[in-house]
């Protein structure tokens, strides 16, 4: 009985102490659909150069309605684990919406994420490198995504095109 109590106590301590601040959110989206290609904000984001680095002005939408916020998991000792979350924050209400979770591409080096907003603030492009989007699954890769705020969905600019579709349709 003491052994069982110890295990339950250890699990409860880990659940409280691990600081799971990040809500896991794996981007799921395919290539742009034909209708997506008519969206001005998506066209704009695929044609503009995305700035590198995480400057404070990259996080705020052009109209000031939204801001991106980073969260991170902490270990039992309070150290960052390298697992991050990206949340969309509505400035007026303070409401937070988790949109993406990801691992550092190189442990200890910080997050590799580049951000560009559409001029109408209805979409944001996120690109970079990661060891994965899930807390317990690691696989290095690069990503190039557009998050459409109104429909709460991603368009994957690196996704394979369906057979028969021209490859230049959504090339960057």
Mean pLDDT of 102-122: 86
Residue 104 banded pLDDT, cuts 50, 70, 90: confident
- Check whether 102 has a pLDDT greater than 70: yes
115-137: per-residue pLDDT in tens? 999 999 999 999 988 877 777 77
Quote the pLDDT of residue 79.
Answer: 65
Quote the pLDDT of residue 46.
Answer: 85
What 8-state DSSP symbol labels residue 61? -
pTM metric for this prediction: 0.75
Beta-carbon contacts of 154 under 8 Å, excluding residues fewer than 6 positions away, are: 27, 28, 29, 145, 146, 147, 148
59-88: per-residue pLDDT in tens? 899 999 999 998 887 766 666 678 888 999
Distance, CA of 86 to CA of 62 (rounded, Å): 18
| Helices assigned H by DSSP within 35-157 | 40-47, 56-59
């Amino acid at each position: 009985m003491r052994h069982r109590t110890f295990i339950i106590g250890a699990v409860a301590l880990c659940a409280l102490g691990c600081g799971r601040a990040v809500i896991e959110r794996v981007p799921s989206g395919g290539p742009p659909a034909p209708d997506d290609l008519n969206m001005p904000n998506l066209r704009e984001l695929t044609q503009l150069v995305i700035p590198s680095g995480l400057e404070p002005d990259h996080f705020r939408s052009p109209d000031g309605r939204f801001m991106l916020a980073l969260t991170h998991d902490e270990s039992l000792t309070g150290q960052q684990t390298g697992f991050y979350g990206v949340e969309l924050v509505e400035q007026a209400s303070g409401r937070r919406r988790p949109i993406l979770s990801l691992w550092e591409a190189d442990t200890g080096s910080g997050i590799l994420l580049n951000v560009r907003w559409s001029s109408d603030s209805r979409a944001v492009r996120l690109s970079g490198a990661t060891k994965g989007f899930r807390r317990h699954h690691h696989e290095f890769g690069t990503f190039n995504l557009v998050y459409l705020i109104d429909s709460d969905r991603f368009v994957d600019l690196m996704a394979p095109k369906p057979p028969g579709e021209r490859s230049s349709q959504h090339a960057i």
